[in-house]
Structure 1
Amino acid sequence: MVPPVKPVRLGNINVPVPVVLSPMAGVTNWPFRVLCEGYGPEGLYVAEMVTARALVARNPKAFRLCRFAPGERVRSLQLYGVDPVIMERAVHMVVDYDGADHIDLNFGCPVPKVTRHGGGSALPWKLDLFTELIHRVVGVCGPAGIPVTAKIRVGIDAEHETFLEAAHIAQEEGCAAVTLHARTTAEYYGGHSDWDRISQLVQAVDIPVFGNGDIWTAEDALAMIRQTGCAGVAIGRGCQGRPWLFADIRHAFEGSDRREEPNLGQVGRVMKKHVRMLVDFYDGDERMAVHDMRKHVAWYLKGFGVGGATRRAFMDCETLAGFDGQVDQLDQDMPYPQAVADKPRGRVRYARKVRLPQGWLDSRTTTHEERQALFGADPMDASY
């Protein structure tokens, strides 16, 4: 039985099918978004994280990450930072230059280089800082008609949960929706996300909740909605090397059993399309494009019996012609590897240790000294 899936309204934006491509650093630039949106329903396909400080500093890489393809239906941009003033200035730039239709705020990143400075999933622990940051961003976006959403985790660890308070604050400060990755920072990407926490959050707030974590197949997406009652799903690692996962989810939400199972020849054609868009993304720099493509190749070929020599040959590619030559040498008729179709992709490890600023957990509010230390060494590096 297909659970009821309804459109979601985010301010002036209607999301006919509540499916989100989660922002992933180094992955969800516009070429990958275009691929996913081409397969999928009319959902939200969010750009990879852009650091507020880098945007304010007019860093060229930050500007590149803010680019959208002409055909993208909704221009969804994710920002993250620690200093509310810097975030406000970055959002002013986005609004003044008509740079996005929707802004998502990152409070879910568990990476140590971010959390050790109070950013990402560490930030909701400090209620005053969290509240001020959202308040300032919504204050700029609201008059411009740009909806703001927030991505959060369950908390820092099992003893320091933040998701219920954070979602309530997000709702009260004007966020249109919240996405919950149902793991703590300490859990990183290990084990299985706790979907019961998504259920809790759905019951606790009035704004739409998108569930995130361990959606590897269309059946997982259906199961999450059925089990949690969430308004929609956010897809992260599950689509790495599989942009057609969004087609599977579209079919599933329509009540169809149809699933995409491309053979290696079909996957190769997607790879060629992807790398050509990356050449455009890098303003014609083939070397940058094929280097960027390396991680995607590993994901695209996951489970296919192509051999180590072929994989290494892709890693040695420096030109588009060389890349095409390697794709053409693949066994075009090799069937899709069912054995890995429902298996985890990307990082699966637990965090070795959660990195936080000294004394971070001593209080739920920031002192003047803490703010000076945080904002003076904002992890949102302007240099990338």
Structure 2
Amino acid sequence: MKHPQSVKDVVNAGLCIGCGLCEALAPRRWKMAYTDAGRLRPALVGPGSDAEILKACPGAVAVPNRETAKNLDPIWGHYHRMEEAWAGDPESRYRAATGGVLTALASHLLHTDKAKFILHCAADPDAPMRTKWCISETPSQLVSRAGSRYGPSDTLAGLEIALARNEPFAIIAKPCDAGAVRARAKIDQRLNQNLVALLALVCGGASDLGKSTAVLDEYELAEDELTLFRYRGYGNPGPTRIETRDGRSFEKNYPEMWADESGWRIQSRCKVCPDALGEAADIAAADIWPGAVPEGEDDGFNGVITRTSAGEALYQSACRAGDLLTGAAITPREFDAYQPHQVNKKHALAARLRGMNSAGSVIYAHDQALRIAELDRRNRNEEIGTCDRVRMGRFFEEVQTFSEGETENEQ
């Protein structure tokens, strides 16, 4: 199988997820910008080499964390613990996505002084439908920025700025971002010295802006009218809420927003994701709705998977402090029932990658520890369907070329 030899190869093959790493590592060559399709992608702004980027780009390489935990499940990978948990702080639990576990863990790191800041993403205050990377230095900042962001996010565009501070910090990110950080840590010792925790959500896929703009179209709104676009939170799962400059507000409950899967606008890289389960992270947090469908509003509960010894130690510390409260243990097969689409994807992944290869596409290199071959069910329909979609150009994306000033205006 062929692997990408440039960032352009990654984008052209539909393997880019817009994580922002290329901008962090080569800011004079790549700047993140939105495409006409509503995806965050690197735009070419200058000459240079992609060699360092490709060693960690999640469209070029996929790795889990480097530890072997005490438990191994063929679907869910290595773990120390699977358990129900939620934020001990009622406001965090209410405002954050689901049970607020990632917010609570990051807040615990800050108020115990184990981390000086958290690199994560939040709603862009100037364009609230969109998401941008940010740094939070206090628990109150974290809580004010909490909640799911379903559109494109480029959290790793802030990685070099975070590392330049030379202080202990944590990252909250998507699983693909976490994999990029683990791969980068093999090269950049600053990560091994200062990154105290890598926290990730179990991810159902990242939509492009088309999902959000479709909601605006339904209400006959323009993006520049918005003061708020909150995808979830303020309850579990909480409504999608829109507020405008002239005082109007609109809400959709979770089934209204997400029942029609054909309208999710999930990006191509997500459909061949080798690690949506956060195996690169220290701790991963998931929704735990039976059949992946919420039965209504509740107080908020996460399923937590501690993946590394550092993650397990952080989890126990947060529980002792009361920053996390815990419920029942969860088995891998119970997680299967909560996240059936993740199980299906794991079994289909090898066939989808063969389909891309058959169509002549490049694919990412992946670590055997992700068990892609072991989970292969040899599904010919998946293989043929993916091959056909690649040949029809469904995965193809063009690389934008801008001057630096033009790129800034695009954002």
| TM-based fold match above 0.5 | no
RCO (CA 8 Å, sep 6+): is it higher in 1 or 2? 2
TM range (shorter): under 0.3
Alignment TM-score, normalising by the size of structure 2: 0.25
Higher helix share: 1
Alignment TM-score, normalising by the size of structure 1: 0.27
Higher strand share: 2
